[in-house]
Structure 1
Amino acid sequence: MSALPISALDEAAALADADMLEIERPDGDPEAVPPVPNSGLRVTSAKLLAYLFSKIVGGSGIRLSLASGTLTLESGGASSVEVAGASATLSLAHANRFIRFNNATAQTVTIPPQSSVAWPDDCQLEGAQWGAGAVSFVAGSGVTLRKAADISATSGGQYKPLGIKRVALNEWLLFGQFGGA
């Protein structure tokens, strides 16, 4: 890969999803014997743009989706969302919002697998038990729920903060103020 300044590149009319972009990091040593090349990678334009936009809009309440070559930005709407009722399944509508788990009696909240919800990498959902009913998290089919040995997967009480973070494909970590095991 030869080094060219961006200003020397020809402008493309459009990039297709499958177009490959080469990215190079100048960490090699051309003076070494034998010369050590710079490290680089090849990535599709769609993947690079999706990654960049996800970092820009992450936490902003804006949703980003890429489907069939179309990149869509959507307003996140309200900064919080309420989950009421005896049971609920989490979705992308809960991402990047404060979740008020608000029910007078116990709630069971299911974390669905990646095959059901296109969870982004490093997705994190936060909220609190808002109503009197305790909130219990359960893993959907194929999902692993990780937590400290001394806590349960049930909220620790009204107004106590809680959250889950996706740490790998179909693997989530509970954090916050949960009840004892």
Structure 2
Amino acid sequence: MKVLYGKSTEDGCHLAKIVTLRCASTAKVNSTQIAGVQIGKPFIEKLNGWPVEIVGYIGLLQHDDRGLAPNGLQIDAFMKAYYSGFPWNDRVKTRLGLGVGLSLAQRVPYSEASSQAERNRSTSRLLNYLDPSIDFSVGDLLGSRRLKDTYLGFGVSHRSGIFGASRLLGNVNGGSNYIYTYLETVL
């Protein structure tokens, strides 16, 4: 189970810039927020003996559009691969993850609606969902076996229309990014 909280990014601070550490600024004007919970189920551990695991998630996010638009819910369903083969993992387990799936919003979030309106582009409640993240074991860091499977990390909640290339997603060319912090643990 994972709980998360995040803020919308500045316009122009897109996913590629965030994951390459060239941008991490959250919106100062018309800032919106998300809070949510994701439940996951491991499907594959040690894929072909490699330090890769595959986890399926379903999540529920609450958009706080801070009075700029009505708040709404978002449901995400995605598969996520985690890589944990770093040389320091015998001391502090670190995971690099990438999730891919679909996102259905109750209403189009303000950050998407406003940026799409500026470009005279369409929006959609159903979009592609990407979820890159990096985290580390809290138990390893604190020396607590009880917290070994508890992770603290950062991620990006990214909704997009895949550059307008999908009729299923309404041919939307754009989306939104929220940089978030999370705590995840095995129940």
Q: TM-score, normalised by structure 2?
A: 0.23
Q: TM-score, normalised by structure 1?
A: 0.24
Query: Which has the larger strand fraction?
Result: 2
Structure with higher RCO (Cα < 8 A, 6+ apart): 2
